[in-house]
Amino acid sequence: MPYFKFGNARIHYRLEGSGQQVLFVHGVAGSGEDMEGFARALGRGFSSVLVDLPGAGRSRGYLSLNGLISALQALMSYVGAGKYSCVGYSLGAGICSILNRLDGRVERFAALAPVVSDFRPFERWMYLLIRGFLKHGPAYHEIMRDIIYDSTADPKNLSEEFVQKRIRYPITSMLYQLYLGMQINTGFNLLHSTKPLLVVSGRHDSISPPREVQRYLSGLARFYAVDKGHADIFGEDLRIRGRNVLRDFLRGAL
């Protein structure tokens, strides 16, 4: 089993196939195994990197959100990646959205069931719940004031650094940090991306409702809705109208 050490983390990863390089990043409470179906559905001509994020699957250790992004960039260098594409699922879509912005080697980015926040009321309660549970962290009104209502803000600053500056105990607040990073980064990074985007959302997904996602992206991405819930989208579901939309997108044929 190959492992990659970065800081205090020991990251497990697997390589499958050969050809065009693709990094697959799983969602919360998942592992690289969750992304196998998407990798296999691509068929021949792709070299897939399936990674277990720190604390998930066979990986061990802890990394901040900044550290995690640096670790994934270093991992792709370690496996010899030149240009590559990134495919993220749920939380993984948020992580890939940061890579898409920061790593110039990323050519294409596919977001599967992304959590794109428009800060609906139930999300406000979720923030307050997590904040109350962890007893620290940024207040919701700070995020609203400093990000959502600041039309002059530079999208490069609407990132994991904003979240981390307001978290005093990064080790005990990893869940909070990842949740905020996922919510804030995904939407803004998608909106300000200059690279090709593919977005797939489930029609029965209450976390990533397709109407909200499509409205939020305003036609900036290739968008498909499938008849699934948030955790029910699999590789075979991306065969739409007789074509594998993920494979065709990564090949530049979509």
Query: Between these two residues, 186 and 152, which has the higher pLDDT value?
Result: 186
Q: Note the pLDDT of residue 213.
A: 73
Sequence-distant (6+) residues with CB within 8 A of 115 are 90, 91, 93, 94, 182, 183, 186, 207, 208
Note the pLDDT tens digit of each residue in 84-107.
999 999 888 888 888 888 899 999
Percent of the chain residues past pLDDT 90, beyond the cut: 35
Tell me, what's the pLDDT at 28?
78
Note the pTM of the prediction, 2 decimals: 0.77
DSSP string, 111-136: EES-------HHHHHHHHHHHHHHT-
Residue-wise DSSP of 37-93: HHHHHT-SEEEEEEEPPTTSTT-BS---HHHHHHHHHHHHHHTT-SSEEEEEETHHH
**Domain spans in the chain, listed from the N-terminal domain onward:** 3-250
3-250 belongs to which homologous superfamily? Alpha/Beta hydrolase fold, catalytic domain (3.40.50.1820)
pLDDT at 205 over 80: yes
What is the pLDDT averaged over residues 147-167? 44
Backbone torsions φ then ψ of 4, nearest 5 degrees:
-125, 125
Instruction: Tell me the three state secondary structure of residue 200.
Output: strand
Give the closest residue to 248 by CA, choosing from 196, 189, 190, 193. 196
User: pLDDT tens, 211-243?
Assistant: 767 776 666 778 898 999 888 899 989 998 889
